[in-house]
Chains A and B, each alone.
Chain A
Amino acid sequence: MTPLLTTKGLSRHFGGLRAVDGVDFALIPGEIRAIIGPNGAGKTTFVSLLSGRIRPSSGMIVFDGADITTMPAYKRVRLGVAYTFQITSVFANLTAFDNVALPVQRTLTDSRSKGAVRTGVMAALERTGLADRAGTLAGQLSYGHQRLLEVAMGLALKPRLLILDEPTQGLADSEIDNFVTLVREIARNATVLLIEHNMPVVMQLADRITVFNSGKILAEGTPEQIRANPEVQDAYLGATHG
């Protein structure tokens, strides 16, 4: 199958630090891919390169057959690459409704009616279970709800690739269960790439796992293969699964 996204020799150096170092990576349409790895392995830098928030030092990124290596972030979003932030960055002083209206109104290029925005916003809020909090200021939502709002904003962009950076961080166990269900549902219409530290979540959700270490891909495979990989156990899983 033609990959949705590929990188070739993708690198990003910060001074002498090779945060991402010659990564060749491919993402199959429709899959849920998890990226795991110890702190400082370059996971966030890698997805930031994909989303266009930072520019690569060298290498190439291809999305859906088009070279997007030098494309500015906002254009990548329009192509369908959506990114949700590791540190929650909803618009705290705007209502949940307005937060989601921003991505919704941008995707509605042909329709000018106010009703279309409202419908789109409420649909995204309902999918994430936030419909009854539409009028609440985002900053007054609980942390878990802010994370869900972040996902709702990502969803409203109608992405073809949704990048989630540590989405379950700070969520309660009960919230995590809902979250797993939500990501599965999203994956029916989109490819999902998530960075995640919570191993049970990764093992439940991911079709395949990519393990990063020191800016390079250490291993890649199904959850079973990764679990059985001795190198991965050494680098990362050792403490919890060894």
Chain B
Amino acid sequence: MRNDSPAKIYALHIGVLALLFALNFVLPDYHQGLFARIMALAVFAMGYNLLFGYVGLLSLGHAMFYSAGLYGAGLAVYHLGWGVPEAFVAGIACGAVLALVIGLLALRTSGVAFMIVTMMFAQVFYLLILYFAAWTGGDQGLVVQQASRMITIGGASLDLTNSTVRYMSALALFSVVLLATLAIVRSRFGRVLVAIRENEERTKMLGYHTVANKLAAVVASGAICAASGAAYALLFGYIGSSFASVQYSILPLLWVLLGGAATTLGPLIGTLFMYYVTDITSGFTSAYLLIVGVALILLVLFAPKGVLGSIRQRWLGWLP
């Protein structure tokens, strides 16, 4: 939202993307796979951040948008035999349409009521997945076969189960979404979203239809989260109801809070941090969630604005 140093901002973002690209050739197999997963999930966090960080709407139901993408893409491949690109688009479309409907209903509320309403809708979505177990696989989930996770362009074919292809696909999606969110938050639309977060009443009195702007943000956020879910289904080949559970509505909130709400790169940092803390601690003890909890408490105590939020506040005011 600052008007200075756009060159610095672009350099930073391109630098981060270049670093992630280079990591593909350096990381050991296990960490390469983990990073691909983290980038796909960071897209989920970025979608969440658009609504929570910039518009100030705290949703507790984003698992439904994520799993709309997951199931939209996964079921299209599994039942309809669709190709990967069509299924990916179908997943995003499912998330966007769902977000439009939920947004129209939930935006009649705000604050705590908005949290409760979104959470209830997400629970309904979760229960529907279990109810229609004949198609969705219920709590067992479904495995998307390797053979159907190929992209054929002309004569060449890309196997999404290949670790490098998978890493690069996740990076491509991550890059597109990162640059898209950067463009949104630096745009006039982004300025209006932040204004709504800061003072909705005042924004109305400047002639803005705030509900329409919030709805657009919900749809954009839902579509991005669905893109993450669709990518997960196609890259990792598993769709399951646990991704629609309440846990997956809370996780993006934690990732964003950790990394820094209303920062473009915060979602990546938060996701990366949480994933590795969980991964490392679960190697030592089965009570790893306790350690994750302690880490979260420490962060909230000493850096309540998250990693990047605190850095921006103290040193780098130009961070978008």
Residues of A in contact with B (beta carbons under 8 Å apart): 51, 53, 73-75, 77-78, 82-83, 85, 89-95, 97-98, 101-103, 105-106, 117-118, 135, 153, 157
Contact = CB atoms under 8 A, between A and B. Distances in A.
Nearest to A138: B198
B2 interface: yes
Contact of B210 (A74, A85, A117, A153): A74
B3 A89 contact: no
B205 A77 contact: yes
Interface string B187-217: 0100110110011011111111110000000
B188 A94 contact: no
Nearest to B4: A135
Contacts of A97: 3
A95 B318 CA distance: 12
Given A95-B2, A117-B188, A89 B199 contact: yes
A73 B205 contact: yes
B316 interface: no
B1 interface: yes
A157 B207 contact: yes
B260 to A, nearest CB: 15
Interface of B: 1-4, 188, 191-192, 194-195, 198-199, 201-210
A24 B74 CA distance: 65
Contacts of A89: 199, 201-202
B111 to A, nearest CB: 19
Given A102-B191, A105-B191, A135-B4, A94 B206 contact: no
A53 B205 contact: yes
Contact of A94 (B198, B207, B209, B210): B198
B198 A106 contact: no
Given A74-B210, A135-B4, A102 B205 contact: no
Contacts of A77: 204-207
B2 A102 contact: no
Contact of B192 (A85, A95, A102, A117): A102
30 contacts: A53-B201, A74-B204, A74-B205, A77-B204, A77-B206, A82-B205, A89-B199, A89-B201, A89-B202, A90-B202, A91-B194, A91-B195, A91-B199, A93-B198, A94-B195, A95-B3, A97-B3, A98-B1, A102-B191, A102-B203, A102-B206, A102-B208, A103-B206, A103-B207, A105-B188, A106-B207, A135-B3, A135-B4, A157-B206, A157-B207
A51 B188 contact: no
Given A53-B205, A98-B194, A101-B188, 5 more contacts: A89-B199, A90-B202, A102-B191, A106-B206, A157-B207
B186 to A, nearest CB: 10
Nearest 9 pairs of A and B residues by beta carbon = A77-B207, A91-B198, A105-B188, A103-B206, A78-B207, A89-B202, A74-B204, A74-B207, A106-B207
B55 to A, nearest CB: 14
B207 A51 contact: no
Contacts, number: 66
Contacts of B188: 101, 105, 117
A73 B203 CA distance: 10
A94 B1 contact: yes
Contacts of B202: 85, 89-91
Main secondary structure of the interface of A (DSSP, over half): helix
A118 to B, nearest CB: 8
Given A94-B195, A105-B191, A153 B1 contact: no
Contacts of A117: 188
A242 B27 CA distance: 86
A45 to B, nearest CB: 16
Contacts of A94: 1, 194-195, 198
Contact of A83 (B199, B205, B208): B205
Nearest to B189: A105
Contacts of B209: 74
Given A91-B199, A94-B1, A97-B3, A153 B206 contact: yes
Nearest to B203: A102
Contacts of B198: 91-94
B211 to A, nearest CB: 10
Contacts of A74: 204-205, 207-210
A157 B198 CA distance: 19
Contacts of B191: 98, 101-102, 105
Nearest to B192: A102
Contacts of B192: 102
A14 B129 CA distance: 49
Contacts of A85: 202, 205
Contacts of A135: 3-4
B204 A102 contact: no
B317 to A, nearest CB: 10
A135 B318 CA distance: 12
Most chain-A CB neighbours within 10 Å: which of B195, B199, B205?
Answer: B205
A74 B192 CA distance: 13
Nearest to B198: A91
A51 B204 CA distance: 11
